[in-house]
Amino acid sequence: MPQKTKKTPMMDQYLKIKAQYPDAFLFYRLGDFYEMFFDDAIKGAQILELTLTNRNKNAAEKIPMCGVPHHAAQNYIDTLVDQGYKVAICEQMEDPKLAKGMVKREVIQVVTPGTMTDTGAKEAKDNNYLTAVHQQGDQFGFAYVDLSTGELKTAVLNGAEILLNELLSLRTKEIVIDDSITEKTRAYIAPLKIMLSKQADVTTSAEVSYALQDVSTPLEQAVLQHLLAYLLRTQKRSLGHLQKAVHYEPSDYLKIDHYSKRNLELLQNSRTGKKGGTLLWLLDQTKTAMGGRLLKQWLERPLLSIKKIELRQKQVKILLDHFFERSELADELTSVYDLERLAGRVALGTVNGRDLLQLKQSLQQIPKIRYLLQQIDDGSFKALLKQLDPVAEVVDLIEQAIVDDPPMSITDGNLIKQGFDQELDGYKDAMKNGKHWLAKLEADERQATGINNLKIGFNRVFGYYIEVSKANLAKLPTDRYQRKQTLTNAERFITPELKEKETLILGAQTKAVALEYQLFVDLRDRIKDYIKRLQLLAAGISALDVLQSFAVISEQQHFVQPKLTKKHQIDLTAGWHPVVQEVMGEQSYIPNDIKMSEKLNILLITGPNMSGKSTYMRQLAQTVVLTQIGCFVPAKKAVLPIFDQIFTRIGAADDLIAGQSTFMVEMKEANEALMHATRNSLILFDEIGRGTATYDGMALAQAIIEYVHNNLHAKTLFSTHYHELTALEQTLPELTNVHVGAVEKNGKLTFLHRVEAGPADKSYGIHVARLAGMPESLLQRADVLLKKLEKTAKKPAAKETALKSGETTNKTAEQQLSLFVPETVAPVKHQQQRVIDELSQTELISLTPLAALNLLSKWQQELRKK
């Protein structure tokens, strides 16, 4: 009969620890495995494709169980965390052989999506940000940290929209919240599918005090305390690499909301979600992982300060003008490892011998980099050169201590150089002499016994032994040899002399391994004292890496240095979309001018689909971004003002996460611009109004243009298929028409991709459909219908089609409706026609309410007559 399960001391320990981490998978160390039990085992076995077994198989209440080898655990942890789970790692805190009773176990770390620090090569240029939010009314204290680098930023955000944009921009996977967060806010961010982690308590520590010392606002202090308390609770180790929290204002940078970044494909391809085909993809010629991360940060937050932008431009120009020195700098940077994350591993205690060799090699490049930069510097690199500290003390420490080819593990020995520690050298000498003694013993025993294949071996279970084949057993002296193990074809023996030497050798080896580990830990702690200098150096190397990347791409793509102006004007000569040209090839791309004087604020762009209107608009936005991150730009000549914000509505896309249609997304993105744009903003609207009925769409498009023209005066590119809107040029002085040229010849359409003055003469919709490969019979039918509509429509002159600015009649709608008048119209009754005629001639606005009511009653009575 199965026995009822008893709560063993081990399971009691497991359940107590698990109760402290109910929201995490508990990896419970048992010997060489991490085990999972109960629901963790059932779910973990399914996710990780492990064999699910049972503990207490003969009991009535079996305990589900599965496990992973401790040496391969990281891959399994990564899989769980990548899928949005937490993993609590519970280790044995004492040697089971020495434990009195139950082995002591503790959770040494909780790995979460926001605290992952072990990144692969593919993610080396990505930050992994853990964010935190604290709410007070409509304001949010906001903070984020990259645990692997120590970067820590904080802000006060006014409104949920700005909060949402920051979360999306940072691509955070986990948000630390507290009781201040309202249900409304939770519901607002719920569609993002980001893990919410609760942190109710705050704590004090040296790391918290250091991080908070430059933060003054209560909101930021509150959110930082919760963020850092969560880090200390989950990491359970020193966080000495955390930098002082740096306050930032989103308004200090060029504001581009998440949707506009997506539309402009700055960091992520809108079709594939990948890096390829983006501005980041084009610009990334960085040689270091930390340079790659900084490039992303610069793209996320372009500058508003002319002084800072011009300094970067000067630095890029110097590097551009010195090809050979720049090439040597790039070569030296290639040998620099990720200093930011190496410093983080030192602080977190996860660094190994090979990491320290990478740190040493990286620091050895710094004097060469400094020298090369000093040769070309005109003063523009003065501040950056101060950051390039070679930290020679760390190089010396590692050089003296670590062997040239250390093992991956820091607990197996063979880490520390000969001569670094006298005691260790003594143990190693004993081990070395012991091996010589063993070799001599083996030779002596062979000679004494006459057994040529006698050998001395070692294993972890039996220690040292003398192995003799069974055919030679008769030759052994019986007085000295004691049998230790029997094999199929041989016997293993021990002698008093070998036993004595075994104790000496193994004692030295155990002590040597333990001492090497302790020496390594001491070395790591000494290097911790230099973390702040290493982080400052990393910041300088990162910036230099991005600047050389700008110089390389500017040279390769023939970019020019843009001139910044305080005037409200744009003057781009022969500009192009840098990514499209790279994909198409230089010979295939047609450059275009974009010229907008101080008095010209709106370009109304017409032309057929596929002709390049959207590309023309995107190229301006990407040129602005390139300018304000300090890079050169794709044009023959460029004069640009500093823009404070970029708003876009380009491309048709449903927001499935929020359950919104294309038209709703279109209206929301347009509204963002109308509500928040200033005179110094850039607005790009591509075919606004196309997502609804023709007349609604046209009315909205015209109203939006008029609002921008009369109220915002922002530089705006507005493309449309409503050709009637081109008449607005007659009434809006800040607007002019341009079109993308196309030539129709012998029924075939050729796009010129050249932007020319004036409106397009037709839309060429059927020609575009033909290019798309639609059936010819369908296209012929469309031609017949088009000619019929054009023939029957009472089409007014283009200049009379759009309403005059401020006009309130329904004239446009009446004229447009004539396109759909049936071929035969039933006769109208005499009374009805007379009422209609009288209504059309009556000036209703001049009537009193009572007179209008009497007139309405009269008409109603006439219409009711039979």
CB 137 within 8 A of CB 160: no
Q: Which residue has the tokens 């809107």?
A: 725
**DSSP assignments along 747-807, one per residue:** TEEEEEEEEEES--S---HHHHHHHTT--HHHHHHHHHHHHHHHHHS-PPPHHHHSPPTT-
**DSSP assignments along 436-450, one per residue:** HHHHHHHHHHHHHH-
Rounded Cα–Cα distance for residues 808 and 825 (Å): 29
Beta strands 637-640; 570-575: pairing state = antiparallel
608 is in an annotated binding site: yes
Rounded Cα–Cα distance for residues 189 and 161 (Å): 10
**DSSP assignments along 129-189, one per residue:** EEEEEEEETTEEEEEEEETTTTEEEEEEEESHHHHHHHHHHHT-SEEEE-TTS-HHHHHHH
SS3 286: coil
Beta strands 33-37; 24-30: pairing state = antiparallel
In which element (H, E) is residue 255 found?
strand 255-256
609 is in an annotated binding site: yes
93 is in an annotated binding site: no
Rounded Cα–Cα distance for residues 444 and 456 (Å): 11
User: What strands lie across the sheet with 105-111, from one edge to the other?
Assistant: 53-55, 63-69, 33-37, 24-30, 86-92, 105-111
Beta strand segments in 576-691, E:
592-596, 602-606, 637-640, 645-649, 682-686
148 is in an annotated binding site: no
Rounded Cα–Cα distance for residues 35 and 68 (Å): 7
591 is in an annotated binding site: no
In which element (H, E) is residue 36 found?
strand 33-37
Q: How many CB atoms lie within 10 A of CB 250?
A: 16
Tokens of 43: 């779910």
In which element (H, E) is residue 97 found?
none
User: What strands lie across the sheet with 563-564, from one edge to the other?
Assistant: 563-564, 637-640, 570-575, 592-596
Integer-rounded Cα Rg, in Å, for the chain is 38
Beta bridge partners of 26: 88
CB 90 within 8 A of CB 17: yes
Tokens of 150: 């120590």
Contacts of 340 (CB under 8 A, 6+ apart): 148, 149, 150, 151, 290, 293, 535, 538, 542
611 is in an annotated binding site: yes
Q: Which residue has the tokens 């710094």?
A: 366
Q: Which residue has the tokens 């180790």?
A: 237
Tell me the residue type at 145: V
Rounded Cα–Cα distance for residues 223 and 221 (Å): 6
| 500-537 residues labelled b (16+ CB within 10 A) or e (exposed) | ebbeebeebbebbbebbbebbeebbeebbebbebbbbb
Tokens of 773: 């490969």
Tokens of 650: 């380009």
CB 718 within 8 A of CB 709: no
Rounded Cα–Cα distance for residues 179 and 437 (Å): 69
Beta strands 715-719; 682-686: pairing state = parallel
Could you list the residues known to form a binding site, using ranges.
607-614
Could you list the residues known to form a binding site for ATP, using ranges.
607-614
